[in-house]
Every structure is written in structure tokens, then in C-alpha cells.
């Protein structure tokens, strides 16, 4: 009997240790996310945990930013809690914050830690309750700090994620909410502009392009809310993620073209189109992940065509090395409907090429854009992006003056509109748009932006195609 009890105790201890190791292995994933297997496919879900009692932060110390290494394993609860600045989004804060975070890390006096040398050495620096030796270099968001003569010397770059800007927007009356995105943490504003946008300012020829005559209707003739995803279900393609590849010029063009081809063919062709095909193969005056023009992308689609997303998926070739994105893995000849070789993705057999008709410019008048979307499908828009746009979480976006005046051009897909009353009872009109920063950004990859006021030049240049040639 005693032997059986001992075996049972050993089994329980082994189970808790195994659970802790599994939880520790999740620390390499983005904030609050982990991968689970669901019927053979990996899906992302948010971890939901309850606050735990204890002195986790007092023992572990406090970290800046969203630091996946700054965690504390609670084996008895089968969970991990955090002691980092992400918890400052509001007490009691995210469900995975350690219970004593606010007492320890937000205390005006820097806490000591059990493993710190005592008495404190004559040389060294403290930061967020942690001791660092002389000469230590650490990363503080997008800046580097070095401990020199017991003082921190830090670079002064403007970071893409700024807690003060998030708090300013969320406490103001802007009509939208901001959030801290882990994929942008550690990036400067300039890096964000370079890696997450990538559409060149429109050329003179594009700006001088004659607008197609609009079939304008009074605004009251339109439905109050319209979305292409409901009008043409299963024909409108979801937002993709361009990651740190400055190629919104390719993603927005491919997405609008795919939607228009599906609508024009009445659902006979519903494949999403490969933005990677454009990035790697459309090289005439284009610069891949370092930027490109949307008019050049439309010309390539008309003359050469691109394969499906399944045939040439985005960043499929990342395992081939950094030079892979600069090599085109499909080749085609003028007039042919199939590539000269198989798909880069060996699991996809169809190497069919998709072409579209010439692009045209839609009238910048609000109701003309609405009429175009309602009759023929989503359109492409170029917009100015300021640093606060990266922090958009939900609501009707408009530029905050606190975000500064620096901007770069970006291209997105407009697919609908709507209107809501604000807290003062005023009618706020908006466009529904799809970005290319993945579904974890914004409203499941989409965003709303003020309509009828040319907010961020969103209505200045609108392009579309009739679909297949």
C-alpha cells in the first residue's frame, strides 16, 4: 500500500513538471497567443487565465515592454503569469499578469530582488527593479541603452509603439481605440514606415489619369450599411499579412483583382491571387519588399498575369535564404495561360495564370465610390499613414495630431461603408477597408475610417478593374 502511494505522488509531481515545460515552450509565440492543433491544422487562440495570488514579481523582478522571458511559472495552477509593462494597459489588467505586478512594478521605489548583490556594488545600473553590471547593453523598446558610470546612456529614436500615445488616444474623444501590438514592439517609426507600407507615392501620370464618369446617386438612395463580404459571400478574400515586407502595393492590387475576377466570373474563378508572384517577378521599376507602384502592378497583371496564392504563397520560400525573395520562381510567356513550370508550392498542381483587364480610375466623389463598390466590387485606395495608424484597434479612425506630421503612402482595399452615432449623437460616416497586416491587427484585419472628408487622402485616388480581360 505504501509503495502505491509513493508511485501516485511521483506521478502527480511528474505531471506538474510536464505541464510547466509545455507552458514554458509557448513563450516564443507572440503576446498572449499559443498554437494548438485542431483537426490537423494549427490555429491561434488567446490564452485566458485568471489572476493568481503570490509574490511572483517580487521574486522574478519587473521587465519593460512585452517580454516573453519575463514570466513566472505557477506549477500548482498550471499557468504562467507576466511581470512586464504590458500589464499597464489597466489594472487589474490582462488576465495573465501576476497578481502583485501593481504593488511591485508600479511602486515609486524600485524593489530589490533576492538574487541582487547586497550591499549594492559601487558600479552598475538599475532599471525596473533589476540590477545590471557596468558596461551592460540592453534593449529598451526600439532604443539601446548602455550602463556607463552607473548611468544609462540611451539612443533617442522615436518608437513605433508609444505608451503615451496609446493612453492619449484612448483617453481622448477620437472615436477609435489604440492598442500595443507585439509585432511592432522594438521598431522605430522609420522602420515601421519602411517595412509595413511600401506603396510609392502615385506618379504624375497616375494622378493625371482621367476619372471614369460616375453614375452618381443621392446618398439617401444607398443602403445605410454595405459590405462586399455580405453581398458576395465566399468571393471576397480575407486580409493577408505582408509581415515586414514593404509591399502593400502588391498585396492590395492582388486582393482587389482577385475579388473583381470572382465577381466578374460570377463565382467561376474564386482563387486568391499571389502577391508573392508580383513581389518576386514584377521587377521593372519595382523594388519588391522595398516598395513599388500600384500602376506598375496593374500593368503586370494585365500583360503577364499571376498564379494563385495556393501555387505561390506569400513568403513560402523563406527557408531558402534572404536572397530567395529576389528570385522569381515562376516564368510565363505572353499569351499563355499557364506557367512554363510547376508551382513553387509542390502541393498545388494548378499553375494557371490569371490576368485582368486594364485598371481605371474611379471618381473621387464619395457617392461615386459607393456606387462603384456596390455595383462591381471592392476598389483600391492610396492613403497617408501616420504613426498612430499602426496602433489602431477598433472604431472609426482619424489622424491624431499628437501622432505628428510624418507620413508615408500605403495602399488598401475599400469594400464597404456605414454610419454610426457617436456619444454626442452626431452621425459618423465611415469606409470599411481591408489592411494587409494580418487578422490580429485592427478589427480582424479590417479597419474603419472617416468617410466623406478625404481623411488621410483615402478618397483622393481610387483604382479598379473590370475583372478578367
Whether 441 is in a domain gets the answer: yes
Please, what is the angle between helix 248-264 and helix 294-303, to 10°? 50
**What does each C-alpha distance from 321 to 125, 221, 289, 324, 423 come to in angstroms?**
39, 54, 15, 6, 52
Stretch (H or E) spanning 152: strand 151-154
* Same-domain pairing of 68 and 148: no
Half-sphere exposure of 148 (CA within 13 A, CB side): 6
Whether 402 is in a domain gets the answer: yes
Cβ-based neighbours of 311, under 8 Å, separated by 6 or more: 274, 330, 343, 344, 345, 348, 350, 351, 352
410 among known catalytic residues: yes
Whether 444 is in a domain gets the answer: yes
* Same-domain pairing of 52 and 187: no
Q: What CATH number does the domain containing 410 carry?
A: 3.90.70.10
- Report how far residue 176's alpha carbon sits from residue 448's, in angstroms, rounded to the nearest whole number: 9
The whole-number pLDDT of residue 117 equals: 53
Task: Point out the domain boundary residue: 87, 121, 156.
Answer: 156
The whole-number pLDDT of residue 189 equals: 96
Cell matching residue 431: 469606409
Cβ burial, residue 251 (10 Å; 0-12/13-18/19+): buried
Whether 11 is in a domain gets the answer: no
CB count in 10 Å sphere of residue 195: 19
* Same-domain pairing of 56 and 180: no
**Peptide bond connecting 119 to the previous residue in cis, omega within 30 degrees of 0:** yes
Cell matching residue 464: 479598379
Task: Point out the domain boundary residue: 156, 188, 220.
Answer: 156
The whole-number pLDDT of residue 111 equals: 44
The whole-number pLDDT of residue 102 equals: 75
Catalytic residue among 319, 435, 444, 454: 435
Whether 121 is in a domain gets the answer: yes
The whole-number pLDDT of residue 265 equals: 93
Task: Point out the domain boundary residue: 84, 104, 124.
Answer: 104
* Same-domain pairing of 174 and 51: no
Stretch (H or E) spanning 249: helix 248-264
* Same-domain pairing of 216 and 87: no
Domain count for the chain, please give it. Answer: 3
* Same-domain pairing of 119 and 260: no
Rounded to two decimals, what is the model's pTM?
A: 0.74
Half-sphere exposure of 222 (CA within 13 A, CB side): 24
Stretch (H or E) spanning 42: strand 41-46
Q: 436 and 248 in contact (C-beta within 8 Å)?
A: yes
Rg (C-alpha) for the chain, rounded Å, is: 26
* Same-domain pairing of 376 and 419: yes
* Same-domain pairing of 315 and 392: yes
Whether 5 is in a domain gets the answer: no
User: Residue-wise pLDDT tens for the chain (469 aa)?
Assistant: 555 445 544 444 444 444 444 434 433 333 333 233 333 333 323 333 334 456 777 766 777 777 666 777 765 555 677 787 777 665 455 667 787 777 777 664 444 444 555 555 667 888 877 788 888 999 889 999 999 988 899 999 999 999 999 999 999 889 999 999 989 999 999 999 999 999 999 999 999 999 988 777 888 899 999 999 999 999 999 999 999 999 999 999 999 999 999 999 999 999 999 999 999 999 889 999 999 999 999 999 999 999 999 999 988 766 655 566 678 889 887 778 999 999 999 899 999 999 999 999 999 999 999 999 999 999 999 999 999 999 999 999 999 988 888 999 999 999 999 999 887 888 999 999 999 999 999 999 999 999 999 999 999 999 999 877 6
Whether 152 is in a domain gets the answer: yes
Domain extent for 398: 165-465
* Same-domain pairing of 217 and 291: yes
Query: Could you tell me which of 436, 257, 234, 286 has the C-alpha nearest to residue 354?
Result: 257
Cell matching residue 98: 501576476
Whether 17 is in a domain gets the answer: no
Catalytic residue among 244, 410, 444, 454: 410
264 among known catalytic residues: no
* Same-domain pairing of 207 and 248: yes
* Same-domain pairing of 146 and 96: no
* Same-domain pairing of 143 and 86: no
**What does each C-alpha distance from 53 to 50, 83, 97, 129, 429 come to in angstroms?**
10, 13, 10, 20, 46
Cβ-based neighbours of 427, under 8 Å, separated by 6 or more: 419, 420, 421
Q: 132 and 138 in contact (C-beta within 8 Å)?
A: yes
Amino acid at each position: 500500500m505504501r509503495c502505491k502511494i509513493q508511485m501516485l505522488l511521483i506521478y502527480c509531481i511528474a505531471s506538474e513538471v510536464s505541464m510547466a515545460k509545455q507552458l514554458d515552450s509557448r513563450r516564443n509565440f507572440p503576446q498572449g497567443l499559443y498554437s494548438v492543433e485542431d483537426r490537423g491544422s494549427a490555429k491561434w487562440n488567446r490564452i485566458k487565465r485568471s489572476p493568481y495570488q503570490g509574490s511572483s514579481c517580487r521574486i522574478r523582478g519587473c521587465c519593460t515592454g512585452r517580454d516573453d522571458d519575463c514570466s513566472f511559472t505557477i506549477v500548482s495552477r498550471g499557468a504562467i503569469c507576466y511581470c512586464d509593462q504590458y500589464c499597464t494597459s489597466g489594472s487589474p489588467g490582462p488576465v495573465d499578469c501576476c497578481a502583485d505586478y501593481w504593488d511591485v512594478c508600479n511602486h515609486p521605489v524600485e524593489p530589490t530582488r533576492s538574487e541582487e548583490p547586497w550591499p549594492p556594488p559601487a558600479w552598475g545600473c538599475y532599471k525596473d527593479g533589476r540590477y545590471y553590471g557596468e558596461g551592460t547593453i540592453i534593449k529598451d523598446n526600439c532604443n539601446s541603452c548602455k550602463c556607463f558610470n552607473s548611468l544609462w546612456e540611451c539612443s533617442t529614436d522615436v518608437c513605433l509603439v508609444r505608451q503615451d500615445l496609446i493612453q492619449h488616444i484612448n483617453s481622448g474623444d477620437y472615436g477609435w481605440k489604440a492598442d500595443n501590438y507585439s509585432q511592432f514592439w522594438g521598431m522605430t517609426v522609420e522602420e515601421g514606415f519602411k517595412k509595413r507600407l511600401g506603396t510609392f507615392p502615385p506618379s504624375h501620370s497616375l494622378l493625371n489619369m482621367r476619372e471614369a464618369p460616375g453614375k452618381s446617386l443621392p446618398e439617401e438612395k444607398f443602403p445605410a450599411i454595405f459590405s462586399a463580404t455580405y453581398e458576395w459571400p465566399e468571393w471576397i478574400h480575407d486580409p493577408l499579412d505582408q509581415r515586414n515586407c514593404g509591399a502593400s502595393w502588391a498585396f492590395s492590387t492582388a486582393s482587389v483583382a482577385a475579388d473583381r475576377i470572382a465577381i466578374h466570373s460570377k463565382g467561376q474563378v474564386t482563387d486568391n491571387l499571389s502577391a508573392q508572384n508580383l513581389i518576386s517577378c514584377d521587377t521593372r521599376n519595382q523594388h519588391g519588399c522595398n516598395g513599388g507602384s500600384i500602376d506598375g502592378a496593374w500593368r503586370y497583371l494585365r500583360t503577364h498575369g499571376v498564379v494563385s496564392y495556393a501555387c505561390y504563397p506569400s513568403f513560402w520560400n523563406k527557408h531558402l535564404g534572404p536572397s530567395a525573395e529576389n528570385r522569381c520562381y515562376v516564368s510565363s510567356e505572353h499569351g499563355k495561360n499557364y506557367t512554363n513550370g510547376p508551382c513553387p508550392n509542390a502541393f498545388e498542381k494548378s499553375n494557371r495564370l490569371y490576368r485582368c483587364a486594364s485598371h481605371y480610375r474611379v471618381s473621387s466623389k464619395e457617392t461615386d465610390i459607393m456606387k462603384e463598390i456596390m455595383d462591381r466590387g471592392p476598389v483600391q485606395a492610396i492613403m497617408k499613414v501616420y504613426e498612430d495608424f499602426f496602433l489602431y484597434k477598433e472604431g472609426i479612425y482619424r489622424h491624431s495630431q499628437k501622432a505628428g506630421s510624418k507620413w508615408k503612402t500605403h495602399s488598401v482595399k475599400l469594400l464597404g461603408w456605414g454610419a454610426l452615432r457617436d456619444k454626442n449623437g452626431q452621425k459618423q460616416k465611415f469606409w470599411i477597408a481591408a489592411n494587409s497586416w494580418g487578422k490580429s491587427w485592427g478589427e480582424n484585419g479590417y479597419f474603419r475610417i472617416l468617410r466623406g472628408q478625404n481623411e488621410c487622402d483615402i478618397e483622393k485616388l481610387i483604382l479598379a478593374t473590370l475583372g478578367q480581360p
